[in-house]
Structure 1
């Protein structure tokens, strides 16, 4: 195994402990929403977006209009546009086919670990492509395998186990380190509060409202700070 690929795999191991229960929950949620095993696995392979998948599955289970399902998934995944813009300069020297492959493995965790490693590149000259794949590939494998296990287990897991609580724990683990300054803290707090207040809206639109309000609050706070 390439040295930098191995380094990425090593750094991803702690993250996998949080991905595994998240993937298990996604598989169970897919079965509960009425998807066939093939559809559920296909969703994890082709969509490959945990938060968006769970939100879409919840809406599908409630027979929400397809437009609402797609809009919710798109809004949740808009952050990937920012991740792409941030990490793209590090891959500019690679061919387009290579960049397309790397884009498929873009997740919150792969982005955070890779950007942190590239920032420290002065002391360690990494092949950024191999390191990124070393981080992203194990995450993908655990996600797909975990989804398959969740599908196999289905509703057989008792509700008393509280396995679904793994989802907010994963999101909290991602959210708290990201709240490093006032704009991001305000965005997270206001967005979360707005989502709770709007939780009663039909078709899970409270999530969209919370996201929009949080983004607006963060932008306004950033504007005030700059002035």
Structure 2
């Protein structure tokens, strides 16, 4: 059963990762362009494994920002994982702590989306999440290596429109989950608050502010539904 779940995790994740390939290529190319060595660029994908945070950190490396500031920025951007992890925690109660930590390291927006959908529909499986995580991880590292190799031939990957690949992937993850009034309202709240925060507040605080606003809106609406 676990082997079957693992294979299903792989197959369900692969279609969502088409947008990750150009994103990983772009990261590898940009890493080289700002002065990181090939080894440093690939090692960051292997050890950090956080696409958006890695992109944000590249110009900080180029500007000579301190490691403390880079670490804080990465933490801020990835705080959304607290919310994703919390929603999966109830399904993972039977797993050992080391295995939970291992799965948490490999969780991305894409793997979370397929895992939570599977958990809500057909039951949670650690093997399924592991298959999803492993697929995403390997493809991200491989695409980073490809970007490093292409780096000497493509000076400006963003001019190719590669930066749109990941937003398009996120939309593909989001839209199928907008199935009821609560999810639609939560999406609208997150959109409006994040756009407003980008305009009014410097830095990356809009990510956390939008998450908190969306969680609050969803919690209030679900509370009203349960009361009824």
Scaled by the length of structure 2, the TM-score of the pair is 0.81
- CA drift of 1:28 comes to 1.4
SS in 2 for 1:120: helix
1:80 corresponding residue in structure 2? 81
Do residues 153 (structure 1) and 150 (structure 2) align?
yes
Residues 222 and 137 of structure 1, relative CA distance in 2, 3 Å threshold: closer
- CA drift of 1:184 comes to 3.5
Structure 1, unaligned runs of 5 or more:
199-204
Structure 2, unaligned runs of 5 or more:
none
Q: How does 1:106-145 map to 2 (within 5 A)?
A: 106-121=107-122, 128-145=125-142
Q: How does 1:94-109 map to 2 (within 5 A)?
A: 94-109=95-110
Residues 87 and 223 of structure 1, relative CA distance in 2, 3 Å threshold: closer
SS in 1 for 2:43: helix
| Ranges of 4+ aligned residues in structure 1 off by more than 4 Å | 174-179, 219-227
- CA drift of 1:139 comes to 0.8
2:188 corresponding residue in structure 1? 185
SS in 1 for 2:206: helix
Residues 172 and 31 of structure 1, relative CA distance in 2, 3 Å threshold: farther
1:35-55 deviation line (CA, Å, top 9, x unaligned): 111111111111111111111
Residues 167 and 193 of structure 1, relative CA distance in 2, 3 Å threshold: farther
Residues 84 and 14 of structure 1, relative CA distance in 2, 3 Å threshold: same
Structure 2 Cα separation of the partners of residues 184 and 55 of structure 1: 24
SS in 2 for 1:89: helix
